[in-house]
A and B are shown apart, each in its own frame.
Chain A
Amino acid sequence: MKRISLPLRLALAPALLTGSLLVTACGDDDSSPPADGDSKVTTELVVTFADKVVVPTYARLATRLTELDAACAALAAAPSADKLTAAKAAWRAARIPWEQSEGFLFGPVDSFGYDPALDSWPVSHTELDAVLANNDALTQQYVSNLKNEQKGFHTLEYLIFGDGGTKTVAQLTPRQLEYVTALSAELKAVGQLLHGAWAQAHDGNPPFRDTLATAGQSGNSAYPSVEAAAQEMVGGITTILDEVANGKIAEPYDTKDPDVVESQFAYNSLEDFTNNIRSVENAYLGHLQGEAKTGTSLQDVVGVDTALDAKIRQQIAGSISALAAVREPFRESINDNTERPKIVAAQEAIRTLHDTFQGEVLPLLSK
Chain B
Amino acid sequence: MRPRSCLVSSSFLLCSTLLLSTTVARAQDVAGAPVVSAAQPSDSPVAQAPSVEEPATPAPAEPAPAPVPVTVEPGARPTPPVPAAVSQARSKIDLFVTAYGELLFGYHNYGLNQNRTGGAQRDSRLEFDTTRFVLEMKGMLPDYGLEVEVEVEFEHGGTGTAMELEYEEFGEFDQELDKGGEILVEELFISKKLGDNAALAVGRFYVAVGTLSEFSRPTDYLGTIRDEAETGIIPNTWDEMGVRLRYKFPWGLRLTGQLVNGLDSTGFSSQLWAVGGHQRRFEVQRATDMAVVFRADVTHFDGFIFGVSAYRGDTTRNRPKPDLVKSCEQANDREVAPCGYVSAPLTLLDVHLSVAKGPWSAKGMVMYGHLKNADLVSQRNARLSNLLGVIRTPVSDNALAAWGELGYDIASVVGLSNSHHLLPFVRYDYVDTQYKPRAELFDNPRFRRTVYTVGVAYNLLNTVYAKLDFGHRRMGSNAFRPENTLRLATGFNY
Task: Evaluate contact between B115 and A149: CB separation under 8 angstroms.
Answer: yes
User: Which residue of the partner chain, among A113, A142, A222, contacts B442 with CB atoms under 8 Å?
Assistant: A142
Question: Is B392 an interface residue when CB atoms closer than 8 A count as contact?
Answer: yes
Question: Is B76 an interface residue when CB atoms closer than 8 A count as contact?
Answer: no
How many residues on chain B are close to A (CB under 8 Å)? 34
Q: How far is the CA of A147 from the CA of B479 in the complex (A)?
A: 17
| B124 surroundings in chain A (CB, below 8 A) | none
Question: Is A5 an interface residue when CB atoms closer than 8 A count as contact?
Answer: no
Task: Evaluate contact between B115 and A147: CB separation under 8 angstroms.
Answer: yes
| B170 surroundings in chain A (CB, below 8 A) | 205, 221-222
| B117 surroundings in chain A (CB, below 8 A) | 122-126, 259
Q: Closest CB-CB distance, B91 to chain A, in whole Å?
A: 53
User: Which residue of the partner chain, among B168, B441, B480, contacts A126 with CB atoms under 8 Å?
Assistant: B480
Query: Interface digits, B454-489 against A, CB 8 Å rule (1 contact, 0 not)?
Result: 000000000000000000000001011000000000
Q: Among residues 417 to 453 in chain B, which have CB atoms less than 8 Å away from a CB atom of chain A?
A: 439-446
Question: Is B257 an interface residue when CB atoms closer than 8 A count as contact?
Answer: no
| B119 surroundings in chain A (CB, below 8 A) | 126
Q: Among residues 129 to 159 in chain A, which have CB atoms less than 8 Å away from a CB atom of chain B?
A: 129-131, 134, 136-137, 139, 141-142, 144-147, 149-150
Q: Report if A110-B172 is in contact (Cβ < 8 Å); known contacts: A137-B440, A145-B378, A147-B115.
A: no
Q: Contact residue range for chain A?
A: 20 to 34
Q: Closest CB-CB distance, B312 to chain A, in whole Å?
A: 26
Question: Is A127 an interface residue when CB atoms closer than 8 A count as contact?
Answer: yes
Q: Among residues 372 to 430 in chain B, which have CB atoms less than 8 Å away from a CB atom of chain A?
A: 378, 382-387, 392-394
Question: Is A218 an interface residue when CB atoms closer than 8 A count as contact?
Answer: no
Nearest opposing residue in chain A for B119, CB measure: A126
Task: Evaluate contact between B441 and A145: CB separation under 8 angstroms.
Answer: yes
| A126 surroundings in chain B (CB, below 8 A) | 117-119, 446, 477, 479-480
| A137 surroundings in chain B (CB, below 8 A) | 439-440
Nearest opposing residue in chain A for B121, CB measure: A257
Q: Closest CB-CB distance, A255 to chain B, in whole Å?
A: 10
Task: Evaluate contact between B442 and A131: CB separation under 8 angstroms.
Answer: yes
Task: Evaluate contact between A130 and B383: CB separation under 8 angstroms.
Answer: no
Nearest opposing residue in chain B for A126, CB measure: B479
Q: Among residues 158 to 215 in chain B, which have CB atoms less than 8 Å away from a CB atom of chain A?
A: 166, 168-172
Question: Is B231 an interface residue when CB atoms closer than 8 A count as contact?
Answer: no
Q: Report if A111-B440 is in contact (Cβ < 8 Å); known contacts: A126-B118, A147-B393, A222-B169.
A: no
Q: Closest CB-CB distance, A178 to chain B, in whole Å?
A: 14
Query: Interface digits, A190-233 against B, CB 8 Å rule (1 contact, 0 not)?
Result: 00000000000001110000000000000001100000000000
Q: How far is the CA of A129 from the CA of B386 in the complex (A)?
A: 29
Q: Closest CB-CB distance, A73 to chain B, in whole Å?
A: 20
Among B116, B384, B477, B480, the one with the most A-chain Cβ atoms within 10 Å of its Cβ is: B116
Q: Closest CB-CB distance, A323 to chain B, in whole Å?
A: 27
| B386 surroundings in chain A (CB, below 8 A) | 110-113
Task: Evaluate contact between A221 and B169: CB separation under 8 angstroms.
Answer: yes
Q: Closest CB-CB distance, B339 to chain A, in whole Å?
A: 16
Q: Closest CB-CB distance, A154 to chain B, in whole Å?
A: 12
| B168 surroundings in chain A (CB, below 8 A) | 221
Q: Closest CB-CB distance, B176 to chain A, in whole Å?
A: 16
Question: Is B270 an interface residue when CB atoms closer than 8 A count as contact?
Answer: yes
Q: How far is the CA of A145 from the CA of B376 in the complex (A)?
A: 11
| A113 surroundings in chain B (CB, below 8 A) | 382, 386, 392
Q: How far is the CA of A134 from the CA of B444 in the complex (A)?
A: 11
| B446 surroundings in chain A (CB, below 8 A) | 126-127
Q: How far is the CA of A204 from the CA of B170 in the complex (A)?
A: 9
Task: Evaluate contact between B392 and A139: CB separation under 8 angstroms.
Answer: no
Task: Evaluate contact between A127 and B382: CB separation under 8 angstroms.
Answer: no
Nearest opposing residue in chain B for A142, CB measure: B440
Task: Evaluate contact between A136 and B387: CB separation under 8 angstroms.
Answer: no
Q: Closest CB-CB distance, A145 to chain B, in whole Å?
A: 4
Nearest opposing residue in chain B for A144, CB measure: B382
Q: How far is the CA of A144 from the CA of B394 in the complex (A)?
A: 9
Nearest opposing residue in chain A for B444, CB measure: A127
Task: Evaluate contact between A111 and B387: CB separation under 8 angstroms.
Answer: yes
Q: Closest CB-CB distance, A137 to chain B, in whole Å?
A: 7
Task: Evaluate contact between A130 and B444: CB separation under 8 angstroms.
Answer: yes
Task: Evaluate contact between A112 and B383: CB separation under 8 angstroms.
Answer: yes
Q: Closest CB-CB distance, A69 to chain B, in whole Å?
A: 19
| B480 surroundings in chain A (CB, below 8 A) | 126
Task: Evaluate contact between A112 and B385: CB separation under 8 angstroms.
Answer: yes
Q: How far is the CA of A129 from the CA of B477 in the complex (A)?
A: 12
Nearest opposing residue in chain B for A193, CB measure: B383
Q: How far is the CA of A161 from the CA of B378 in the complex (A)?
A: 31
Query: Interface digits, B84-119 against A, CB 8 Å rule (1 contact, 0 not)?
Result: 000000000000000000000000000000011111
Task: Evaluate contact between B477 and A136: CB separation under 8 angstroms.
Answer: no
Q: Closest CB-CB distance, A200 to chain B, in whole Å?
A: 15
Q: How far is the CA of A203 from the CA of B382 in the complex (A)?
A: 14
Task: Evaluate contact between A130 and B477: CB separation under 8 angstroms.
Answer: yes
Q: How far is the CA of A141 from the CA of B440 in the complex (A)?
A: 7
Nearest opposing residue in chain A for B438, CB measure: A145
| A144 surroundings in chain B (CB, below 8 A) | 382
Q: How far is the CA of A149 from the CA of B113 in the complex (A)?
A: 12
Q: Among residues 45 to 73 in chain B, which have CB atoms less than 8 Å away from a CB atom of chain A?
A: none
Task: Evaluate contact between A111 and B169: CB separation under 8 angstroms.
Answer: no
Task: Evaluate contact between A139 and B115: CB separation under 8 angstroms.
Answer: no
User: Which residue of the partner chain, among A112, A145, A205, A222, contacts B440 with CB atoms under 8 Å?
Assistant: A145
Task: Evaluate contact between A129 and B479: CB separation under 8 angstroms.
Answer: yes
| A111 surroundings in chain B (CB, below 8 A) | 385-387
Q: Report if A136-B442 is in contact (Cβ < 8 Å); known contacts: A145-B394, A221-B169.
A: yes
Known A-B contacts: A124-B117, A137-B439, A147-B393. Give 10 more (CB < 8 A).
A122-B117, A125-B117, A127-B442, A127-B444, A136-B442, A137-B440, A142-B441, A203-B383, A221-B166, A221-B168
18 contacts between A and B (CB under 8 A): A111-B386, A112-B384, A126-B117, A126-B119, A127-B444, A127-B445, A130-B442, A130-B444, A136-B442, A139-B440, A142-B442, A145-B440, A204-B171, A205-B170, A205-B171, A221-B169, A221-B170, A259-B117
Top 9 closest pairs, chain A to chain B, by CB: A125-B117, A221-B169, A145-B394, A126-B479, A111-B385, A142-B440, A141-B440, A126-B117, A145-B441
